[in-house]
Amino acid sequence: MTEAKIGKLLISKQHQEKATLHCYSPQPSMLTIDVLDELGRPYKHEKYQLPAGEHEISLSIGNLPSGDYNAWVSLGSKTAIRNLHIQARKKAGNFLLRLLAPFL
């Protein structure tokens, strides 16, 4: 029997509001993602019931402050820690840019 696989947690350079996790589950399993800061304080907890197969999970990180985090990812009986670095977000200088930012 093939074992579960947990890939890297990647942040797209264009869409820094989301992180993507690729994983494989040989059978239906529960996937949990716990994001903690460097001091171990929890910031996010997500659960997904996955069918067997390959998956691409999108995790919303837009509300996390910039900094370094550890994501504890569990899939079935397998657990992995994935590093996550969130860069400081650029702030629009004027009202029009802030208004248009979601569409750019």
Q: What is the domain range of residue 99?
A: 5-103
- Residue 104 above 60 pLDDT? yes
Average pLDDT value over all residues in the chain: 87
What's the rounded mean pLDDT across residues 30-38? 96
Residue 17, Ramachandran bin (φ over 0: left; ψ between -120 and 50: alpha; else beta): alpha
> How many whole angstroms separate alpha carbon 16 and alpha carbon 60?
9
Domain tally for the chain? Answer: 1
- pTM for this structure? 0.79
Task: Say if CB 47 and CB 35 are below 8 A apart.
Answer: no
> How many whole angstroms separate alpha carbon 29 and alpha carbon 46?
14
Q: Any idea what the CATH number is for the domain that residue 73 is in?
A: 2.60.40.3080
